[in-house]
Structure formats: C-alpha cells, structure tokens
C-alpha cells in the first residue's frame, strides 16, 4: 500500500528525521499486528519513506502436514504451497499481508495513532530546537495581533512564536505582515504544547544586537560586562577590552555613531550609554553617571553606598529624567548612589535659599533637607518625591507639601 497519503501531510515541514519516522511507522503497524495475531515476533515491517511504500511480511517455518504445533511460528507444507508452489519443508515461508486484511476499523485506529505520534514528535522537536536557541535573535513576520500578545512566524522555520505585550518596548507598534526582531527568551509547555516566548525588553536582546553590529564583541576582543535597561528610554552598558590597542567604547559606538545608531533605532530611540568597565569603584561610578561630571565621591563599601557631589548645573544630568540616569547607574555599579550639590555660597538669581521659607516650613524639616545636601528650593525640586522620601525619612504628606510650596514659588 502507498503510505504517502497517510503520513506525508504530517511529515511535510515537520523536520522529523527519517529514522525516527520509520521507527514510528514500524511501531504503529507492529501494534496493529499484535492486536490481530497476539504477537509480532514472526513479522517483518518494511517501510520506504522515499516512495511511501509499506510491506508487511509474516515469516513461518514450513513443516509437514499435521505437525504444526505453533500457528505463530509454523505453517504446513500444503498451506505454504498455496502461497508459492516452489516452497519445501524446512524452509521459511514469507507471506505478504495487506492492510485490508486487518479490517477498516483497525486501519482507521492505526491511522489515528500515527497522526497522534507524529504530532507529539513535532512538539518534542520544536521544544528541543528552540530550547537550544534561547538567547538567539530571531526575525519573524507578524502573523496575528491579539490583546495580550502578538503571534510571529519565524522567518527561518515557519514556527509560530509568541511576543507578549509586556516583552515589547514602549512605543512598539506592529501591523500584520510587519517584520519583527526579538530574542528567544524561554520555551515553556502549555497544555502539552511548546510555546516559544520572544522578548524585545530583555537585556540579552541589546547584547545580541551589539554582537551583530560590533565585530570585536563577536570575536571576543571586547566583552559586555553588564547591561541595565529601562526599555525604550535609557540603557547603560559596561564594556571591557582584552586588547590594549582597542578602545571598547569607541568600537561599540563606531565612526560618528554608525554602529550604535542602528541599535538605537531598533530599540525605539532608547538612549544608550556605553561606559568602560573598571575595578576602580569610584571611577566606575563616575563613568556610570554619564553625562554628568562628578566633583567628588565618598564611598561606603560595607554598605555598598556612595555619596556623589556635583556642581549645581550637573545635578539634574546625574539624576536624569524621572530619575532614570541615577537609577541605572546604581544598578550598573551595584552601589546605592545619592547625589549632593557642592556647597556654594552664591545661588542662581532665580533660586531661593531654604532659610527664606522659615515662615512656611518648620525649621527641623529645613534641616532635614540640608542634611541631604539641598540648600535651595531648586536643589530640592531636582530630586523626585520618591528620592526625597527615601533620603530624608519625612512623611509623604510633608514632602508633597514642601514640593508644592517650592513649585508655587517659581510659578509666581
């Protein structure tokens, strides 16, 4: 019987290797034989996957009439001669079986088993293949857009992958048919089905994009020591070179930013700071606070805490929009960083000394603000509410009141 119609529809595109396919087919038909004959010991199953041919042979020893003691392994000479008139006693009789001999219901059951087995093999193969590729970049086409996720067809294999909304960068917007790049984050089983999760927010995605753009990283001449990100907003990457002749920061940025620009575009204009890694903690923190220029750093290595002093015009740069710069610098270095203004005797013309608010704000609250390096209204406003709460131990209501008083001062 020609098996092409039976299993080619399942085999097509499943990437199941031929020996495995043959083994599955043999198992299915041996099960069919055992159900009909009680054993498959004296049967040969020959599968030709190229042509789609299947041959089933029953092999028994030929004995004299009346001397058959086991129907499974022996056949009488008269019955053997009805199969082929050239058979003789003592030889092995090969009798070809046909699927029709097993009955329609048995054949349908075998076909269903075959479908089920091949689908299981396909799932196992997808799980194994993508588990080995975790951390690799994939390029795929948007196949379907759902409420919580986007389904992508892997350009290389045609397998359906999942890009959850929480793994997308702020500003990502895709239409059906768009090409999407991401990193394979994990493979998990859901209801016995392999689900491949793709991410664009994972740090590995940025690392792999850098590998693609910077040959020195791929060649191992430059190592990415650490990556911290607020996806779509800002990222900091520390790099190190094993070759003194190579400037790792310059190599990653490229001539006139040629290498980094492609990555920034892919990440929806995420601002990427590349810094040179060093074991000198003070210098590392200084570099991590780029683009701010640090005047002085006081380190407490036991508490993993750093007090950083800057000129007034550098404080907002160090903190960054919404505190992103200082937050990422802390993550990159592993130190909790607090920013202080250098003691200055003169204030900006449009700034106001804290002591001038003595009639509106209690003295102990002003002292608490001075203790964290804030000596004017603007120096307080440069810090976020969360930062003020953490560093001063003031009540949230008090901090909100302070901020509203200072904001009203500059509105006037």
Looking at the structure, tell me whether residues 15 and 113 fall in a common domain.
yes
- CA–CA separation, 362 and 365 (whole Å): 5
CB-hemisphere CA count at 13 Å for 102? 22
In a domain, 378, yes or no: yes
In this prediction, residue 2 carries a pLDDT of 40
In this prediction, residue 152 carries a pLDDT of 96
Looking at the structure, tell me whether residues 104 and 137 fall in a common domain.
no
- CA–CA separation, 127 and 155 (whole Å): 17
In this prediction, residue 9 carries a pLDDT of 52
Looking at the structure, tell me whether residues 88 and 65 fall in a common domain.
yes
In a domain, 168, yes or no: yes
- CA–CA separation, 61 and 80 (whole Å): 9
CATH number of 39's domain: 3.30.1480.10
Instruction: Please provide the average confidence, as pLDDT, over all residues in the chain.
Output: 87
In a domain, 112, yes or no: yes
In a domain, 261, yes or no: yes
Q: Kindly provide the b/e burial profile for residues 106-119, where b requires at least 16 CB atoms within 10 angstroms of the residue's own CB.
A: ebebbeebbeebbe
Q: Which domain holds residue 397?
A: 354-411
Looking at the structure, tell me whether residues 272 and 224 fall in a common domain.
yes
Looking at the structure, tell me whether residues 117 and 41 fall in a common domain.
yes
Looking at the structure, tell me whether residues 143 and 112 fall in a common domain.
no
The secondary structure element, H or E, covering residue 177 is none
Looking at the structure, tell me whether residues 29 and 88 fall in a common domain.
yes
- CA–CA separation, 35 and 74 (whole Å): 19
Give the residues across from 337 on adjacent strands: 306
In a domain, 299, yes or no: no
- CA–CA separation, 169 and 180 (whole Å): 12
In a domain, 196, yes or no: yes
Predicted structure pTM score: 0.68
Examine the fold and report which residue of 107, 129, 151 is the final residue of a domain before the chain moves on: 129
CA 306 to chain centre: 33
Pairing status of strand 336-341 against strand 305-310: parallel
Looking at the structure, tell me whether residues 48 and 114 fall in a common domain.
yes
The contacts of residue 131 (CB under 8 Å, 6+ apart) are 187
Tell me the C-alpha to C-alpha distance, in Å, between residue 216 and each of 250, 263, 368, 380: 11, 16, 50, 44
Examine the fold and report which residue of 71, 100, 129 is the final residue of a domain before the chain moves on: 129
In this prediction, residue 100 carries a pLDDT of 78
Looking at the structure, tell me whether residues 125 and 8 fall in a common domain.
yes
DSSP H helices in 12-143 = 18-37, 77-83, 104-131
Domain tally, the chain: 4
- CA–CA separation, 101 and 337 (whole Å): 81
pLDDT tens readout for residues 308-330: 999 888 988 999 888 899 999 99
CATH number of 186's domain: 2.40.50.140
Looking at the structure, tell me whether residues 143 and 235 fall in a common domain.
no
In this prediction, residue 229 carries a pLDDT of 96
Looking at the structure, tell me whether residues 110 and 143 fall in a common domain.
no
The contacts of residue 204 (CB under 8 Å, 6+ apart) are 135, 183, 185
148: left (phi over 0), alpha (psi -120 to 50) or beta: alpha
In this prediction, residue 52 carries a pLDDT of 61
Examine the fold and report which residue of 75, 110, 129 is the final residue of a domain before the chain moves on: 129
- Burial tier of 127 (Cβ tally within 10 Å: 0-12, 13-18, 19+): middle
- CA–CA separation, 42 and 253 (whole Å): 71
In this prediction, residue 347 carries a pLDDT of 43
In this prediction, residue 134 carries a pLDDT of 96
In a domain, 292, yes or no: no
- CA–CA separation, 135 and 127 (whole Å): 14
The residue assigned the tokens 């950083």 is 308
In this prediction, residue 175 carries a pLDDT of 94
Candidates 117, 115, 126, 125; CA nearest to 195 is: 126
DSSP 107: H
The secondary structure element, H or E, covering residue 373 is none
- CA–CA separation, 236 and 227 (whole Å): 6
Candidates 30, 25, 55, 54; CA nearest to 42 is: 30
Which residues of the chain, if any, have pLDDT below 50? 1-4, 7, 10-11, 13, 345-349
* Contact between 38 and 26 (Cβ < 8 Å): no
Looking at the structure, tell me whether residues 18 and 120 fall in a common domain.
yes
- CA–CA separation, 225 and 246 (whole Å): 16
In this prediction, residue 1 carries a pLDDT of 43
In a domain, 394, yes or no: yes
CA dihedral 100→101→107→113, nearest 10 degrees, is -140
């Amino acid at each position: 019987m020609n098996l092409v119609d039976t299993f080619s529809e399942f085999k097509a595109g499943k990437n199941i290797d031929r020996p495995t396919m043959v083994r599955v087919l043999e198992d299915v038909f041996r099960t069919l034989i055992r159900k009909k004959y009680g054993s498959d010991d004296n049967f040969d199953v020959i599968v030709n996957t190229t042509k789609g041919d299947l041959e089933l042979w029953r092999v028994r020893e030929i004995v004299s009439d009346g001397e058959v003691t086991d129907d499974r392994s022996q056949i009488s000479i008269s019955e053997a001669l009805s199969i082929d008139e050239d058979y003789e006693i003592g030889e092995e009789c090969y009798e070809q079986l046909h699927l029709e001999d097993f009955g329609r219901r048995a054949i349908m059951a075998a076909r269903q088993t075959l479908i089920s087995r091949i689908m299981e093999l396909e799932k196992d193969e997808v799980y194994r293949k993508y588990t080995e590729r975790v951390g690799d970049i994939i390029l795929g086409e948007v196949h379907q857009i759902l409420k919580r996720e986007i389904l992508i067809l892997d350009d290389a294999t045609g397998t359906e992958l999942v890009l959850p909304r929480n793994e997308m960068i702020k500003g990502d917007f895709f239409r059906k048919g768009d090409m999407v790049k991401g990193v394979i984050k994990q493979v998990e089983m859901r209801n016995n089905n392999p689900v491949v999760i793709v991410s664009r927010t994972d740090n590995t995605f940025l690392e792999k994009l850098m590998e693609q753009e910077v040959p020195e990283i791929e060649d191992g001449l430059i190592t990415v020591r650490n990556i911290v990100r607020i996806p779509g907003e800002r990222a900091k990457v520390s790099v190190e070179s094993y070759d003194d002749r190579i400037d790792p920061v310059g190599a990653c940025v490229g001539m006139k930013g040629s290498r980094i620009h492609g990555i920034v575009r892919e990440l929806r204009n995420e601002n990427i700071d590349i810094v040179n890694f060093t074991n000198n903690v003070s210098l590392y923190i200084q570099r991590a606070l780029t683009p701010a220029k640090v005047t002085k750093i006081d380190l407490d290595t036991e508490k993993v805490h750093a007090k950083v002093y800057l000129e007034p015009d550098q404080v907002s740069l160090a903190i960054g929009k919404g505190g992103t710069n200082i937050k990422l610098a802390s993550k990159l270095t592993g130190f909790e960083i607090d920013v202080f203004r250098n003691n200055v005797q003169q204030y900006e013309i449009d700034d106001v000394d804290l002591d001038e608010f003595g009639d509106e704000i209690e003295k102990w609250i002003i002292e608490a603000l001075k203790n964290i390096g804030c000596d004017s209204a603007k120096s307080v406003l440069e810090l976020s509410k969360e930062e003020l709460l953490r560093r001063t131990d003031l009540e949230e209501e008090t901090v909100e009141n302070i901020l509203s008083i200072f904001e009203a001062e500059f509105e006037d």
